[in-house]
Amino acid sequence: MTGKSFVSSDQIRSRFAQAMSDMYRQEVPLYGELMSLVAQVNAQVLADDPALAQRLDRNDERARLDLERHGAIRVGSAEELSMLRRLFAVMGMYPVGYYDLSVAGVPVHSTAFRPVEAAALARNPFRVFTSLLRMELIDDAALRAQAAGILARRDIFTAGARALIEQAEREGGLDEADAERFVAEALETFRWHSDATVPLPTYHALHDAHRLIADVVSFHGPHINHLTPRTLDIDAAQLQMQERGMAAKAVIEGPPRRQCPILLRQTSFKALEEAVRFPAGNGSAEAGSHTARFGEIEQRGLALTPKGRTLYDALLAQARESEGAGSTGADYGTRLQAAFAGFPDDYDTLRQEGLGYFRYGLTEAGRASPDHAATLPTEAAIAAGLVSADPIVYEDFLPVSAAGIFQSNLGGTEQRAYAAHSHQAAFEQALGAPVRDEFALYAAIERDSLAELV
């Protein structure tokens, strides 16, 4: 070994997230506006609710809030996906969860690359929702072969990125200069290219098969299609988006507004139509356009246990299915509220019924008499004011919501039912690794906090 001193993967991730945010703000100015709107809303919420501000401080969430965001990309082949896995690993981001979106008419399956340990999440929880196109869902065999051929000819990574990924794997990290180069090289993979790699007629053929297929196959790389800041009050942020004339989605995805937010609520503004040049032979180009990139905001709440998640899924299905109206009817908000009356909405009950994950710690009184706190059962120690229990924030995604976000940005009209089913094994084979189980990760954070009490 060389005795080099390595930059931590947390540092590399933070720098990369910042570089990505700067790039996306340049590419999609509305994103910058969304960020300042969210910062304002968050500052207001924290000013109005000192108890929340305190809790976020205690739970290591306050400092990360302004940095916090997720992005999304879509790739076309196993080779691309597995190389991405290696690229994200350099930044301490690992595949968590499996999402099958084919059931919602989107021919992809996905995972989220994100940090997994409490300390790394507190540093910077940057996540990237990453989807793999399911080629087998293209019906037309000739088109499928053509798309595969196009994908096989492109390399979405720079030579420098490939070399640095291999170096990091071989040597166990990157030093300062190499980390800086890595961030710059990695960023290239996510950049928007306004020149397509396929002629306009090919683009149209792919587009006719599914707009998403054209998005994945026709370009040099998997452009980042949105970056999402985290707001503490999505209803306020949504109102402000509308007031500023942003074309926000009609319905907020996920659970309804509650006293104790659970999981994830999201809303987006519609994709932009962007000018694209398509190659037309002999070095000439033909003008066209493509819609892919959009803006999104999200509010995150309590991570649910399998029991809580089962209840969530059941209530959501009830709201969506009553009167067969899906999430489109004008009264959807009312139906959603009504259905979720069945979900306890105070932290004590959520905890005592085992619906969510909590992080435990000694209060000031508990620190003053730690032996006393340690002798009591946890609930008794909480009741005695010796132990605090704070909600662990949900770091992942929701398949029904994700499908809603995809749909609204595919023009909303695209309704296609695929007879496919969830295929996690095939996804993991393409990825070259298993995805981690999100429940096990939250349970570990909860368990570690309990272990530290005694």
Q: Taking the complex as a whole, how short is the minimal distance between the CB of residue 273 and ligand OOG, in angstroms? A: 16
Residue 203 or 397: which CB sits closer to ligand OOG?
397
How many Å separate Cα 404 from the centre of its chain? 14
- Our finding on whether 113 is near ligand OOG (CB under 6 A) is no
d(CA 198, CA 200): 6
Q: Provide the minimum distance between the beta carbon of 346 and ligand OOG in the complex, in angstroms, as a whole number.
A: 27
> Phi first, then psi: what are they for 8, rounded to 5°?
-70, 155
Nearest Cα residue to 214 out of 79, 107, 130, 295: 107
Q: Residue 116, SS3?
A: coil
Please tell me whether residue 297 binds ligand OOG under the rule CB under 6 A: no
Q: What is the distance in angstroms between the CA of the first residue and the CA of the last residue of the chain?
A: 40
394 contacts ligand OOG (rule: CB under 6 A): no
* Residue 74 contacts ligand OOG per CB under 6 A: yes
Q: Total residues contacting Ni ion (rule CB under 5 A)?
A: 2
Contact, 240 vs 41, CB < 8 A?
yes
- Binding partner of 441, given Ni ion, ligand OOG, none, CB within 5-8 angstroms per partner class: none
Q: Does 406 bind ligand OOG (CB under 6 A)?
A: yes
- Let me know: does 208 contact 15? Beta carbons within 8 Å: no
Residue 197: phi, psi to the nearest 5? -95, -10
Which residue has its beta carbon closest to ligand OOG?
A: 402
Q: Which does 75 bind (CB under 5 to 8 A by kind): ligand OOG, Ni ion, none?
A: none
Q: Applying CB under 6 A, what is the total number of residues that bind ligand OOG?
A: 13
For the bound state, the minimum distance from the C-beta of residue 397 to Ni ion, rounded and expressed in Å, comes to: 7
Q: Which of Ni ion, ligand OOG, none interacts with 402 (beta carbon under 5 to 8 A by kind)?
A: ligand OOG
Please classify residue 279 by burial: count the beta carbons closer than 10 Å to its beta carbon, then call 0-12 exposed, 13-18 middle and 19+ buried: middle
Contact between 402 and ligand OOG by CB under 6 A: the answer reads: yes
Check binding of 189 to ligand OOG (CB under 6 A). no
- Compute the distance between CA of residue 80 and CA of residue 63 in angstroms, rounded to an integer: 34
CB-CB contact of 299 with 265 (8 Å): yes
Which residues bind to Ni ion, rule: CB under 5 A?
Answer: 228, 296
Which residues bind to ligand OOG, rule: CB under 6 A?
Answer: 72, 74, 129, 131, 225, 266, 296, 397, 401-402, 405-406, 409
